[in-house]
């Protein structure tokens, strides 16, 4: 089969999405709808766990709508409480045993857990847990938390969860379900988003506010960095299991990951992207006849660029939304079509024109090169590329599936070398100060950062225990061989 995977791989992949609800007679159906709204955060697999006195677990590979849209499936997920997850693998291979929510029978009863993010000491903890006799059923980092809860000294599920999450490092927004509660936790720096909503008498926690919109729930507030929310029959309870630290929300949520109709920490994602486009037009404008977004993530920034520059916005590239990850039997000719499986130039609006292409990022550069080539072939007189993020030169260890550093174009090349690689007439990225101005700050101030921007700077705000241990072992090997 021909896979579109090589072209998908030229993006930073969405991490995962989580959803939980308590005290609703159709909890599983509401959860499925919420997961539909979060589908952009992970298209590899999905799962729901519900509780009605017994736990009911349903996992599937693929999209939410391919499995959870039928009454036959939803009717098996009984009960007034449920949690759900959509997954793109950042740790652990793509296989059914890694699909979340993970479920286990612990001393206090059943427990299920869904996780958005990545634990940076998971391998270190896993080795310790295996030495203590723990038997792992998956290869995902999330299972470490389940085993830590099983071994915890203390009584209640909430106490055990607090003990477990205090031992892990990294970025995480979690939702969990016990026989009596739905629990949500956000890491101390708040790298990954989590929101609280209300639907009638029911409370909801979800990765983004768009998941509340789809089910008709009201947004209550963001779950704060370092906060644990416990939903039970008596209401909403807030706890602070971590020492307070400066918040560092992932800035790529605003650039690319979150849905444009979401609001994160009080800021509209759509408006942020438009402002980034406006800053790009101020910083790096060239004379042109059309502003063309690379769909779909480049659209809001392109609108902002067009507004600021006064140049018409045109849908000069049309995306095919119906191409899956496998398509047809390959031939050399079909392979050569490449990016046209997903994008096609709209010749009528770009032929003979000087075109500015606006996209959110360049990762490996292969798709950008193909798109520039495609727009030229459709008759564009000039093709300029503008990127609404700084160059992505460092891998992410906090829940984004990025290539290894030597595969990142910005790590290997200067901007001019990148321009030559993608064969654009010019290439420019938004500056750090321009990005932060768009986010409502005058500049990037290292002493007062509110965001994690490690994929641009290499400034990792959370310790990378597993990476550092691995690097230490690699550095020892030449000496050991000698």
pLDDT of residue 5: 41
Domains, the chain, with CATH or none = 10-248 (3.60.20.10), 271-457 (3.40.50.2020)
Q: What is the pLDDT of residue 340?
A: 65
Q: Which of 10, 12, 13, 16 is catalytic?
A: 16
Residue in this structure with the two tokens 């030169």, named with its chain if needed: 393
Count the helices and strands in the chain (H runs, E runs): 18, 23
Rounded to 5 degrees, what are φ and ψ at 430? -65, 145
- pLDDT given at position 26: 97
Instruction: List, as residue ranges, the binding site.
Output: 250, 297, 359-360, 396, 452, 455
Residue 449 phi/psi, 5° resolution?
-70, 135
User: Given this model, what pLDDT does residue 338 score?
Assistant: 56
Question: Binding site residues for [4Fe-4S] cluster, as ranges?
Answer: 250, 396, 452, 455
pLDDT score of 332? 53
Rg of the chain over CA atoms, in angstroms? Answer: 23
In the predicted model, residues of the chain with pLDDT beneath 50 are: 1-8, 325-330, 479-482
**Residue 175: strand pairing partners:** 114, 184
Residues in CB range of 256: below 8 A, 6 or more apart: 11, 12, 297, 360, 361, 389
pLDDT of residue 471: 79
134 tagged catalytic? no
Residue set of the binding site for Mg(2+): 297, 359-360
Task: Please report the sign of the dihedral spanned by the C-alpha atoms of residue 331, residue 333, residue 334, residue 335.
Answer: positive
Helix (H) or strand (E) holding 348: helix 347-350
**pTM (2 decimals)?**
0.91
Alpha-carbon distance of 321 to 325, in angstroms, equals: 11
pLDDT given for residue 1 in this prediction: 32
Please report where in the chains the tokens 């063309």 appear, as a residue: 292
Give me 339's structure tokens: 């990016």
């Amino acid at each position: 089969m021909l896979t579109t995977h090589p072209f998908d791989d030229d993006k930073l992949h969405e991490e995962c999405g989580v959803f939980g609800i308590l005290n609703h007679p159709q909890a599983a159906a509401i959860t499925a709808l919420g997961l539909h709204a979060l589908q952009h955060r992970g298209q590899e697999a999905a799962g729901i766990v519900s509780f009605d006195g017994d736990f009911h677990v349903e996992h599937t590979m693929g999209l939410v709508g391919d499995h959870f849209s039928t009454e036959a499936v939803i009717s098996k997920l009984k009960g007034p409480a449920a949690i759900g997850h959509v997954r793109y693998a950042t740790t652990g291979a793509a296989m059914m045993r890694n699909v979340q929510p993970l479920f286990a029978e612990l001393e206090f009863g059943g427990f299920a857990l869904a996780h958005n993010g990545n634990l940076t000491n998971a391998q270190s903890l896993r080795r310790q847990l295996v030495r203590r006799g723990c038997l792992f059923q998956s290869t995902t980092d999330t299972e470490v938390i389940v085993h830590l809860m099983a071994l915890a000294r203390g009584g209640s599920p909430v106490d055990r969860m607090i003990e477990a999450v205090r031992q892990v490092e990294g970025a995480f927004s979690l939702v969990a379900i016990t026989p009596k509660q739905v629990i949500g936790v956000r890491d101390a720096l708040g790298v990954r988003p989590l929101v609280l909503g209300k639907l009638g008498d029911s409370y909801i926690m979800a990765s983004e506010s768009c998941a509340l919109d789809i089910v008709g729930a009201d947004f209550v507030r963001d779950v704060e960095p370092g906060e644990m929310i416990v939903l039970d029959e008596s209401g909403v309870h807030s706890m602070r299991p971590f020492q307070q630290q400066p918040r560092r929300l992932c800035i790529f949520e605003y650039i690319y990951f979150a849905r444009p109709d979401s609001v994160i920490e009080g800021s509209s994602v759509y408006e942020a992207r438009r402002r980034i486009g406006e800053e790009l037009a101020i910083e790096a404008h060239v004379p042109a006849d059309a502003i063309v977004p690379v769909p779909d993530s480049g659209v809001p920034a392109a609108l902002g660029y067009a507004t600021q520059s006064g140049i018409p916005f045109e849908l000069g590239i049309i995306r095919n939304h119906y191409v899956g990850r496998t398509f047809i039997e390959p031939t050399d000719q079909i392979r050569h079509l490449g990016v046209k499986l997903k994008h096609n130039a709209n010749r009528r609006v770009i032929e003979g024109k000087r075109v500015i292409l606006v996209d959110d990022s360049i990762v490996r550069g292969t798709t950008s090169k193909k798109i520039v080539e495609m727009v030229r072939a459709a008759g564009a007189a000039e093709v300029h590329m503008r990127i609404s993020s700084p160059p992505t030169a460092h891998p992410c260890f906090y829940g984004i599936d990025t290539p290894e550093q030597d595969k990142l174009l910005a790590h290997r090349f200067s901007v001019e070398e990148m321009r030559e690689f993608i064969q654009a007439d010019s290439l420019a990225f938004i500056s750090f100060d321009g990005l932060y101005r768009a986010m409502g700050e005058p500049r990037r101030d290292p002493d007062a950062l509110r965001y994690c921007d490690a994929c641009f700077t290499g400034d990792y705000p959370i310790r990378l225990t597993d990476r550092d241990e691995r690097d230490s072992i690699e550095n020892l090997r030449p000496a050991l061989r000698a």
